[in-house]
Every structure is written in structure tokens, then in C-alpha cells.
Amino acid sequence: MTQPTLALRSVSKSFGMTAALTDMTLELHPGEVHAIVGENGAGKSTMIKIMTGIYQPDTGGVEIDGTPVLLQGSKAARLRGVAAVYQEPMVFPDLDVTENIFISATGSLWLNKSAMRRAAIDLIAKIGMRLDVDRMASGLTLAEQQAVEIARALSQNVRVLIMDEPTASLSAHEAAELRRVARALADQGVAVVYISHRLEEIFQLADRVSVIRDGRHISTRLVTATTPQLMISEMVGRDVGNYFSKMQSTATQDVLLSVRNLGLAGIFEGIAFDLHRGEVFCMAGLIGARRTDVALAIFGITPANAGTIRYKGKHLHAKSPSDAMAAGIAYVCEDRRKLGLAMELPIRWNITLATLSRYLSRLGLVNTQAERHTAADFRKRLNIRTPDAEIPVGKLSGGNQQKVMLSKWLNMNPDLLIVDEPTRGIDIGAKAEVHDLIRQFAAQGGAVLVISSDLPEVLALGDRILVMREGIQMAILDHADASQERIMALATGQEKAA
């Protein structure tokens, strides 16, 4: 075996009383794609932060090329060739692609713009992307922004590239593109660390996979020597059934929401579907299919300007979220950080946010006793893992944040629950829990509209599936007629709208 480019040797790290990593050992070899899987809170982020010099280990150490090193800060790590690319890339919207790639050089007095531009073109070519280096970063797609970040890392002679859930927000096509880039980098001798919750892509891409759980290293295996079932059982520490099996439909004939010819000029048009009580109805499509815009129209954020919405048999035209909420519609948005949760405020505050008026006395004072009761109730019901409900919600892992967001809306007792990318970036255990919640909600007579880019999820949840493409409704498939291939064919326009 070759000398590992980077190795963790018995690394432990605690925060106060909580041990985030215990005796963690891991070797990254040049030219390999090394996948790391584990539930949220398993210690993956702490591990990345130690590799990139943001945290220092309490005990144990980091070796680069077999030599122990002290990585003090991310700059020190970058100088040694360790860089990370995150799910939400760091780009400067008002700079162009070239300037973004050479951002650390923009501090120097003399900039040779044309040389930088040529180098940027080379780097973009090296990762096999097609991207105009003169474009402003503000107009780039997420995938393109990630490419810029990777090119930036390459410009600094990266030897270990950590990709933290890079495909979580990408469409299937973009994700495939990114995996190709990761493979190309590995072929050039870079050690690629690939963190993902999408097990199927790990099997497509990785050479080796390490499972971590509760801050400990559980196993490292060749991908060819493991199975999804084995990985999942190691991740959760118990045997699990098939997570993505379709559950029994509970759909009734009772129409709750009826949308006809709904449109918003220049965004989407001609959307028409019925949603029944007890039904889970999915909207599938690529990024840019405008599925979220349909949800925002129903919820009253950006009302539609064509077509009709009937809800509980009555005409509904929500002009603001409070109109929609008064009618019993809840919308769990896709972007937890920007739109979903007030990250630095307590969990309890976030849970009661949409229902605050229920907790107010006649004088307008908040009944904290009742609030605590609600928070404790949801913490138990949804299995939110936290020491208490008074800490900022931003301190929780993604899966637990998602559960807090769901709690906020379930507390409203809505009739219609719209959930937008409900399991993006959360681990497989939490995913299954969220799916169960959605199913339970429908079984109790509610209707659910799920927007998801995760095809296995769409197939596992949807009683019926509406496929959209660029603002147009392509088809509504019954579960029996739906397959990943069929949905993709419609979403990419290979199969024409009926």
C-alpha cells in the first residue's frame, strides 16, 4: 500500500462534556475516492474541521505524507494542500469566475488579469466543465459554483479534497457531472473525501467507504466488498429493513385541494391536479422545473396570476402566508438556513413560531409553560436529539433541524402539508423518520404535497407523482406506472407531455 496523503491517528475531540470524536483513525490515499458515511451527529463535520485545521484534536494527531503536522487554521491546511467544498459553496456573487477562483490572490498588489484568466480556463478544463470564466458568479447554478470552488482548490495545488455532501442540492444530471469531476481529480492523484447520504452514488463513485458512528470509526471497506444493507446497519448500529419500500396508500376520494390551469407569468403555467385527503402527492423534476414556485403560489408568498385554486370546496386566493395558514395550509420550505429556521434563537421559539397566537394571554404575553410543554412533546414524538429545547436550533444537526421545522408546522394541525425537499442533506435514519411522519400525517386524514429531487424518495412516498419541466406540467403518474427512468425521461423532456 502507498503512503497515505493524509491520516488521522487516534484523534479525539470533545466539546465540553460531549465527545464528538473518539480514537478516530483514518487513512486517505492518493488517487482514491474515499466515501465517509454516518448519521448526522456521527462526527463527520468535526472530522472535516480537524482535517481542514479549523479544530485541533484534543489527543492524537494528523499526519501528512507520514509526518505529524499541526494544522492551525484553514489557511495552514490549504498551504499543505487540504481543501474542502461544501454543499453551499462560498462564492462572491459580484466577482466573475476568474476572480472567484483566484480570490486569495486578489489581496496582492499586482494582478495579472489576463494570465489569471488563462489559468482559470485551464483549471476549468482540467475538471472537465464547460464554463465561461468571465461570467459573474451571481448567475451561476449551484453545480457551477461548486466547480468554481473545486477549481479554486486546484489552483492551490490541492492534494486532499473534501467534498461535503456536494450533490445534496443538485439535480440528477448535475450530480452525475460532479461525480465525474471527483473521479477525474482522483485519477490525477488527489485523495478525494466524499461525504454523501445518497448511498447509490457512493456505489457508483467511491473506491473505499468508511462508516462512522457516535464519533467512532466502525469500518473501512472496499466498495466492492460491502452492500447498502451492511452500510446502513453499521451506520445505525442495528439491522434495518428496506428504507425505501413503498408503504400502503391511505388516499381517499375526498378532494381537499383542486388546482386548475394555475399559472404565474414567465414562471409556470397550466398546472392542474386534485389532491385528496389521506394522499401523498409528489412533484418531481429537475432543479429549475419551478415546482417550488407552484408551492409558493398556493401558500400565498407569490400568488398566481392565472387559474384557480379550490380548497375544501371553496375558492382560495391566499395573498400572504397568513391567509394560507388560516385556511389550514402549512409549507415546510426547502432552505432551512435562509427561510426555515431562526438559527440563533432557541428550539422552543422556533417550534411555536407559526402558532404563536395560541400561546398568548389576553394581554399578549407568551405562556412559556405551555410552550415548553409543546416543545417537550414534539421532542419526544419526533425524536429530536438535543440536550434541551432552549439551545439555539442552529446547534442541531441537519436532520434534527428538519424535525424542528416539521414540528413548527405540524403544531398548526394543518389539513394540507406542503413539504419541499423534506430530507435534503439529512442522514438515512432521520430520512426514514421523516417519511414515517409524512405517512402518518396522511393516514390521519391530512393531504401531503411533497416536492423532492430524490427519485427513490418520490417513488417511496408518492401515491401519485406529478412531473414538471421548466414550468410545464409533463404528466401525473400513478405509483404503479412510475419508475426512476420514466420520471427522468419526462423531467428531461425526452418523453413528451401527454
Indicate whether 353 belongs to the interface with another protein (CB under 8 A): yes
**Could you say which of 275, 354, 382, 428 contacts another protein (CB under 8 A)?**
354
- How many degrees, rounded to 5, is the angle at CA 314 between CA 308 and CA 318? 60
Binding mask 289-318 toward another protein (x if CB under 8 A, else -) reads ------------x-----------------
SS (H, E, C) 374-443: HHHHHHHHCCCCCCCCCCEHHHCCHHHHHHHHHHHHHCCCCCEEEEECCCCCCCHHHHHHHHHHHHHHHH
Does 321 help bind another protein (rule: CB under 8 A)? yes
Set of cell numbers at residue 221: 471497506
Binding string, residues 196-235; x marks residues near another protein by CB under 8 A: ----------------------------------------
C-alpha cell at 162: 473534501
Q: How many residues are listed for the chain in this entry?
A: 498
Q: Which one of residues 72, 227, 302, 320 is an interface residue with another protein (CB under 8 A)?
A: 320
387 binds another protein (CB under 8 A): no
Choose between 111 and 345: whose C-beta lies nearer to another protein: 345
Nearer to another protein, 194 or 349 (CB): 349
At residue 409's C-alpha, the angle toward residues 403 and 413, to 5°, is: 125
Rule CB under 8 A: say whether 76 interacts with another protein.
no
**Is residue 340 part of the contact set for another protein (CB under 8 A)?**
yes
> Is the Cβ–Cβ distance between 161 and 146 less than 8 Å?
no
Q: Kindly state the smallest distance separating residue 363's Cβ from another protein, in Å.
A: 8
Residue 342 in contact with another protein, rule: CB under 8 A: yes
Q: Is 365 in the site for another protein (CB under 8 A)?
A: yes
359 binds another protein (CB under 8 A): yes
**Chosen residue from 70, 90, 125, 339 binding another protein by CB under 8 A:** 339
Among 311, 331, 378, 441, binds another protein (CB under 8 A): 331
What contacts 182, CB < 8 A, 6 or more positions away?
A: 33, 161, 163, 166, 192, 194, 205
Cβ(86)–Cβ(80) below 8 Å: no
List Cα–Cα distances, 180 to 33, 90, 127, 183, in angstroms.
11, 21, 9, 5
| Separation between Cα atoms, residue 284 and residue 450, nearest integer Å | 9
CA separation for the pair 59, 447 (Å, rounded): 51
Closest separation in Å from C-beta 327 to another protein: 11
* Shortest reach from residue 20's CB to another protein, in Å: 16
Measured over the CA atoms of residue 189, residue 221, residue 12 and residue 234, the dihedral's sign is positive
Binding pattern to another protein, positions 399-428, x when CB under 8 A?
---------x--------------------
Q: Is 369 in the site for another protein (CB under 8 A)?
A: no
Answer for the pair 368, 341: CB distance below 8 angstroms, yes or no.
Answer: no
Residue 344 binds another protein (CB under 8 A): yes
Does 125 help bind another protein (rule: CB under 8 A)? no
Whichever of 70 and 356 has its CB closer to another protein, that residue is 356
C-alpha–C-alpha distance, residues 385 and 113, integer Å? 50
Which residue, 167 or 411, has its beta carbon nearer to another protein?
411
Query: Which region, judged by CB under 8 A, interacts with another protein, from 128-136, 194-202, 271-279, 341-349?
Result: 341-349
Residue 109 burial (C-beta neighbours within 10 Å; 0-12, 13-18, 19+): exposed
* 327 touches another protein (CB under 8 A): no
DSSP 8-state secondary structure symbol assigned to residue 221 = E
Sole binder of another protein in the list 55, 268, 281, 349 (CB under 8 A):
349
Residues that bind another protein in the complex, under the rule CB under 8 A: 301, 320-322, 324-325, 331, 333, 338-345, 349, 353-354, 356-357, 359-360, 363-366, 408
